[in-house]
Each structure stands twice: as C-alpha cells, then as structure tokens.
C-alpha cells in the first residue's frame, strides 16, 4: 500500500481460479495463435494489422517462466480450456457448412458472446467499461512526431487516459488512438485541429 498499490483480498482458490482465466488463458491462446505463424510467408505477414499484434503480443513471453506457471495452476486452467474447446468445436462444426440453416445465427451468437465478455473488462484504474471517449490523430512517421503530439495534448491540460498506435502499411503515416474523458473529447479535438493535426472522430 505504501507503493500506491490497491490490495485485492481473496482466498487462494479464488485467486488461482481468477488468474487461470484472466492471465493464463490469454497467454496460452496468444501462444497458440502465434505458433501458426511460424511457416507463414513474409509477404502475408506484411499485411498484419493491430488485431494480430494485439492477440500475439504476449506470445513473446519467457517459455521457462510460463512452464512453471502453467504447471502450478494446470488443474484450474484445464477446466477453462475444456470450455474453449467446446466453443471451438461448435465454431468448426458451423464453419464446415456455413450456409446451413442457423449457421449465420450461430456465428453471430459466438461473436456477440465475445462482445459481451469484452465489454465487462474494466478500464484504466478499474473504471467502468466504456468510460472513455476515443479520437484518432494522423501522425507523420517521422522522428519526434509522437513526442510533439503528447506534449501538445499535455498543453491543453487534458489527461491522456490511454494511447494506442498503429502504422499504416506502405505509407509514412501512423494513427494514434487517444482515449480521454467523454466531456474532454470535443475540446481536445478542437485544440489539436487548431494546432494543425488531422483528427478523425
């Protein structure tokens, strides 16, 4: 607490069950997806966007460390993986005949269930999901541009809640997705536009 941390009290079993779902499962799924890329041609990988980068980012984690973690919590993770396997088998069965009656509905339901789960993930500092407004700023892919953007956001006195960067393949252009409190988005948009930034809302 002296370091500013917020303690979360729970039993050992509750902790192990929680981390199996929110930490160990994402690591395993990320690693499995990334493993499919080992023989992928470079020209195909050059098309990769933030979706693939987001999903596989943690696949770069230390294998030795994760062998220890997964071994220690294997029982709880296995039960979660059983559920993932059921969902995968369901999706595979649907995609084997995607024009069958009810197939599109089944796919939509699986995606909607993902929407519902993702929407429950808390935002920064445990804030409710969807607490922030987003805007995208086009940034020249030249030295110092991100630093200048962040400095000029700071000059407005508006707190930057989150920042995601994406590069436009084949173009000397990047996109900075900025998250701020909803009531600050219009003010920030106007300020950045006046300073010469191209803002996409």
CATH code where residue 49 lies: 1.10.3660.10
pLDDT at 58 (0 to 100): 96
pLDDT at 170 (0 to 100): 62
State whether 138 and 49 are in the same domain.
no
Whether 124 is covered by a domain: the verdict is no
Cα angle for residues 24, 29, 20 (degrees, 5° grid) = 20
C-alpha pair distances (Å), 78 with each of 24, 32, 35, 36, 156: 10, 15, 20, 21, 49
State whether 114 and 196 are in the same domain.
no
Whether 111 is covered by a domain: the verdict is yes
pLDDT at 4 (0 to 100): 74
Domain containing 158 equals: 133-200
Residue in 184, 134, 128, 124 with CA at minimum distance from that of residue 159: 184
State whether 19 and 110 are in the same domain.
yes
pLDDT at 174 (0 to 100): 87
pLDDT tens across the length of the chain (201 residues): 577 777 889 999 999 999 999 999 999 999 999 999 999 999 999 988 888 999 999 999 999 999 999 999 999 999 999 999 999 999 999 999 999 999 999 999 999 999 999 888 887 666 676 788 999 999 998 899 999 999 999 999 999 999 988 876 666 788 899 999 999 999 999 999 999 999 987
CB 79 within 8 A of CB 88: no
Whether 7 is covered by a domain: the verdict is no
The C-alpha atoms of residue 147 and residue 188 are separated, in whole angstroms, by 16
State whether 106 and 54 are in the same domain.
yes
Tell me how many domains the chain contains: 2
Three-state DSSP class for residue 166: strand
State whether 103 and 143 are in the same domain.
no
Whether 75 is covered by a domain: the verdict is yes
State whether 32 and 112 are in the same domain.
yes
State whether 68 and 148 are in the same domain.
no
The C-alpha atoms of residue 175 and residue 194 are separated, in whole angstroms, by 18
For the beta carbon of residue 132, count every other beta carbon within 10 angstroms: 17
Whether 125 is covered by a domain: the verdict is no
* pTM of the predicted model as reported, rounded to 2 decimal places: 0.76
């Amino acid at each position: 607490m002296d370091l500013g941390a917020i303690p979360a009290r729970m039993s050992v079993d509750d902790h192990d069950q929680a981390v199996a779902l929110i930490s160990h499962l994402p690591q395993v799924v990320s690693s499995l997806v990334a493993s499919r890329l080992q023989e992928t041609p470079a020209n195909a990988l050059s098309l990769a966007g933030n979706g693939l980068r987001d999903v596989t980012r943690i696949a770069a984690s230390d294998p030795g460390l994760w062998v220890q973690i997964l071994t220690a919590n294997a029982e709880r993770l296995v039960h979660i993986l059983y559920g993932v396997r059921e969902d995968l088998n369901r999706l595979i069965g649907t995609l084997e005949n995607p024009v069958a009656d009810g197939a599109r509905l089944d796919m939509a339901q699986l995606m909607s269930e993902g929407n519902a789960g993702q929407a429950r993930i808390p935002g920064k500092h445990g804030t409710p999901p969807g607490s922030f407004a987003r805007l995208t700023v086009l940034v020249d892919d030249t030295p110092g541009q991100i630093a200048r953007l962040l400095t000029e956001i700071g000059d407005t006195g508006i707190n930057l809640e989150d920042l995601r960067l994406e590069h436009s393949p084949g173009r000397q252009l990047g996109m900075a997705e900025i998250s701020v409190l909803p009531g600050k988005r219009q003010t920030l948009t106007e300020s950045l536009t006046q300073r010469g930034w191209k803002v996409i809302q």
